[in-house]
Amino acid sequence: MAKVIGLTGDEAVAYAIKQCNVDVVAAYPITPQTVIVEAFSEYVFNGEVDTEFVCVESEHSAMSACVGASLTGARVFTATASQGLALMHEILYIASSLRCPIVMGVVNRALSAPINIHGDHSDMMGSRDCGWIQIYAENVQEAYDWTIQAFKIAEDKEVLLPVTVNLDGFILSHSIEGIKVLEDEDVASFLPPREPVYTIDPNNPITVGALALPNYYFEFKVQQDHALRNSFKAMGKVFSEYEELSGRKYDVLHTYGMEDAEIALICLGSTAGTARYVAKRLREKGVKVGVLKPWVYRPFPEKEIVEAVKEVKALAVMDRACSFGAPYAPLGSDIASILYKSGLDIPVVNYVYGLGGRDVSPLDLEAVVNEILEVAKTGEIKEHLKFLGVR
């Protein structure tokens, strides 16, 4: 029988890292991520792991140290949030373009100003084009499961890309949940030591990070884009293997009620739980609502989403981030693009919600459902981009 323990989101990520035989952790504390590295540093101090824990002076240095460590062939983890992720921005691109399979826990938090420590997706969305695989967890169990799977996806020789596991600040990072954890030896067999393709080694020097001017640079970027899109293949294998081990089945997209849904809500992270709760209650009253949760946000699961939504009459796309001055917020933009590409003429209303950690309640989402039902009925969109619950 699976062992169930009570852990917060941050502690669950630290617990997963303890089991993943990580060689190097270089990290800098920032709320609400701090508990991940704090809890992990205790494992290091107590000798429960043999990880090299590098204390650095900033997130820019943390990610730089991670890139260096990863190039030596080490398995590397770090975690950050908000301003910390923004400070890493430059090195995020270097990590993905040098094909370093680093795993990073991003505990999503609003960006300043005004200063705010609570959960929204502005941080990750601000770096969404950094070339990393980006995964969003809905609850603490998922944060644990995704962290373990992330290493296996990242280190696959056909992938070799870094992965962020996103968990909503405070909503998940500081909430205790009873989660099913795997035995250490099961994780060890699922995740054998990393087998790097290239390593930097003073005895056998190679060239990493050379200059590529207009006559070569473009080809390397196309290569990188191909690797990211192609990573779905490796994910499929990892999901089946993890299901066998844990009994929990993951995928790139989670759907609820989409078999007969007339309208649907799409959202990332913890809001998906609230959305399903609302959908379930409304379905009991005969309202056919579906919920889609892209677990994997980059690469974007286009095919799966199009397949799931093609019969619905209207869609609500929920974004916990704002893309200032843009036609839609990030997820809204992606959904509108894939509907256009696939020739589906489904009305979309994009809702920006929960910025700076403002709570989104079942009643808020019920109001969204009612608006979308009206759009489905009339085919008329009054506002394409709405700010949910703003005064």
Partner 1 sequence: MSEKKPLWQTLPIAGILLEPKSSLKYKTGDWRGPFTPKINQEKCTKCLLCWIYCPDGAIERVGDGVRINLDYCKGCGICVSECPVKAITMERL
* Residue whose CB is less far from partner 1, 7 or 160: 160
C-alpha span between 27 and 66 (Å, rounded):
9
Residues in the chain: 391
Least CB distance to partner 1 at residue 217 (A): 9
C-alpha span between 220 and 225 (Å, rounded):
9
> If we measure between CA atoms, which residue out of 24, 37, 120 comes closest to residue 73?
24
C-alpha span between 356 and 115 (Å, rounded):
9
CB contact burial 126-140 (16+ within 10 A = b; e otherwise):
bbbebbbbbbbbbbb
* Residue whose CB is less far from partner 1, 11 or 155: 155
Least CB distance to partner 1 at residue 162 (A): 12
DSSP assigned state of 356: G
Stretch (H or E) spanning 284: helix 271-284
Stretch (H or E) spanning 11: helix 9-19
Structure tokens at 8: 């917060």
* Residue whose CB is less far from partner 1, 160 or 329: 160
Stretch (H or E) spanning 188: helix 184-190
Least CB distance to partner 1 at residue 210 (A): 6
Least CB distance to partner 1 at residue 220 (A): 5
* Residue whose CB is less far from partner 1, 222 or 363: 222
Omega before 162 within 30 of 0, i.e. cis: no
Least CB distance to partner 1 at residue 101 (A): 12
- By the criterion CB under 8 A, which residues form the site for partner 1? 97-99, 160, 197-198, 205-212, 215-216, 219-220, 222-224, 226-227
C-alpha span between 164 and 8 (Å, rounded):
18
C-alpha span between 338 and 325 (Å, rounded):
21
Which residues neighbour 119 within 8 Å (Cβ) at sequence distance 6 or greater? 32, 108, 109, 110, 168, 169, 170, 171, 172, 173, 270, 320, 354, 357
| Paired strand residues for 266 | 292, 317
Q: Could you give the count of Cα atoms lying within 13 Å of 197 in the half-sphere of its Cβ?
A: 13
* Residue whose CB is less far from partner 1, 6 or 209: 209
Least CB distance to partner 1 at residue 218 (A): 8
Least CB distance to partner 1 at residue 227 (A): 8
* Residue whose CB is less far from partner 1, 43 or 93: 93
CA distance between the termini of the chain? 49
Least CB distance to partner 1 at residue 222 (A): 4
Structure tokens at 271: 């809001």
* Residue whose CB is less far from partner 1, 208 or 363: 208
* Residue whose CB is less far from partner 1, 211 or 390: 211
* Residue whose CB is less far from partner 1, 227 or 339: 227
Question: What is the distance, to the nearest Å, from the Cα of residue 113 to the centroid of all Cα atoms in its chain?
Answer: 24
* Residue whose CB is less far from partner 1, 46 or 215: 215
Least CB distance to partner 1 at residue 206 (A): 5
Least CB distance to partner 1 at residue 231 (A): 14
